[in-house]
Homo-oligomer: A and B are copies of this chain.
Amino acid sequence: MDNPADLTASEAAKRIRAGDLTSLKLTEACLARIEQREEALQAWAYLDADLARAQAQAADDALAAGGPRSALHGVPVGIKDIIDTADMPTESGTPHFAGRRPERDAHCVALLRDAGAVILGKTVTTELASLAPSKSRNPVNPAHSPGGSSAGSGAAVGGGMVPLALGTQTGGSVIRPASFCGVHGLKPTLGFISRRGVTLQSHTLDTVGVYGRSLDDLALISDVLGAFDPDDDVAYPRGAARLGQAVAEAAPSGGYRIGFWKTPVWDRAEPRAQAAIEDFAGGLGPACREIAFGGGIERISEDHQCVMSGENAHYYGPLYDKDKSLLTEQMRGRLEAAFAVSARQYLDAVNRREVHYEEVAAALDESDAILCLSSAGPAPEGFATTGDAIFNGLWTFLGVPCVSLPLLTVDGMPMGVQLVGKRREEDKLLRVAKWVEGQVAGRA
């Protein structure tokens, strides 16, 4: 790997600290890759090369003067364009916010800056982080969708433009692009990363997540981002972040029990995706067995949709009222349906979340992680949709941590394998994921 743009964030950060690479050189390599591929991939909503260079130079200067500010020092990060940045526009993929310049950084962006990261630019989001497709293209094959809504983040990390990026997930917006773009993605527990300064569409679902090129990368950036913020109602106090340590110390010998769950929406998966994940589960041997749940959980995806719709109506209704012509037809239709969700339906569904979680948590007493599809198939060809998020919404609803590992290939396109853990147990989830990757590597 001669081009620094192709390094994992962890390796790049290590070289920067060792003096074998500068943040500026790494940033220049990323900018060069963007220059080369952006026309095809359309991953960036905003990028000011000089601003990026200035940050990188500052990171190099700070390193020379006083050492690294964190393990992430000098590493460029792409920021989904629904996350506020004080020095770049934040337009959330809608003309409603065209030219919007936030007064301050989102909490998570401020943490990255404090850690010495380079905020490379803003990555393309679908309209208001919802379903209408964006201009971004799949980095593996630009005739395919990169997924959504964190389309640009998935494309940029997968396309070698930036080693790390932030995304957000309300339905399947972190894990699905990870699956489609062949990168690692982590949607942590609801409340792990603060949403202060992020355009909200659903306060019980919206979750900030991360993209990287390895489990170490996910841990590296998550350890910076997982700082308690009392100003986010769902945030929870946590001790020192130790995901990096969890991944580093994961025992290759394992002894883990993996529960392969087809989920109640198995029929929504493409047969080739079903075959791929069944084959993968089988390949894990006796450590992996299929699990099933009782009847109540059948409606979990419907409950997720109901809660998302009810909250979408609250958060985006004012934009519809202000000027619905600025919304896509898809968003208008979505909101009109959302306005019809009743308070009773909404509260009933909210109430069932904990009932569903109890069932899943009980299964996670028997298994160390649940294995399932990251997406209903590989990235769809064409741009009519961003793909089906049905294998993600249920987990977003439960607020549990999910990781997508780029371990499958289906008809030449990447497809992720999703592992799911208990709330607030990212550390265990990443250890299990490390073991799973080791098993695959061992077989190869």
Residue numbers of A with Cβ under 8 A of B are: 309-311, 313-314, 317, 338-348, 351
Q: Closest Cβ of chain B: how far from A38's Cβ, in Å?
A: 39
Residues of B within 8 A of A346 (CB): 310, 343, 346-347
**Known A314-B343, A317-B348, A338-B343; 7 more pairs at CB < 8 Å:** A310-B346, A313-B344, A338-B344, A341-B342, A341-B343, A341-B344, A343-B345
Q: Closest Cβ of chain B: how far from A121's Cβ, in Å?
A: 33
Q: Closest Cβ of chain B: how far from A31's Cβ, in Å?
A: 42
Asked if residues B339 and A344 are in contact (CB atoms below 8 Å), the reply is yes
Instruction: Select A311's contact among B314, B317, B343, beta carbons within 8 Å.
Output: B343
Interchain CA distance A344-B317 in the complex, whole Å: 8
Interchain CA distance A243-B348 in the complex, whole Å: 38
Instruction: Select A342's contact among B343, B348, B351, beta carbons within 8 Å.
Output: B343
Q: Closest Cβ of chain B: how far from A227's Cβ, in Å?
A: 23
Interchain CA distance A347-B311 in the complex, whole Å: 7
Residues of B within 8 A of A343 (CB): 309-311, 313-314, 338, 341-343, 345-346
In the complex formed, the residue of B with least CB distance to A317 is B344
Interchain CA distance A310-B310 in the complex, whole Å: 12
Instruction: Select A348's contact among B314, B341, B344, B351, beta carbons within 8 Å.
Output: B314
The 5 closest A-B CB pairs, nearest first, are A310-B343, A314-B347, A313-B344, A343-B346, A341-B343
Residues of B within 8 A of A340 (CB): 342
Most buried by B among A314, A338, A345: A314
Interchain CA distance A442-B118 in the complex, whole Å: 71
Interchain CA distance A340-B341 in the complex, whole Å: 9
In the complex formed, the residue of B with least CB distance to A347 is B314
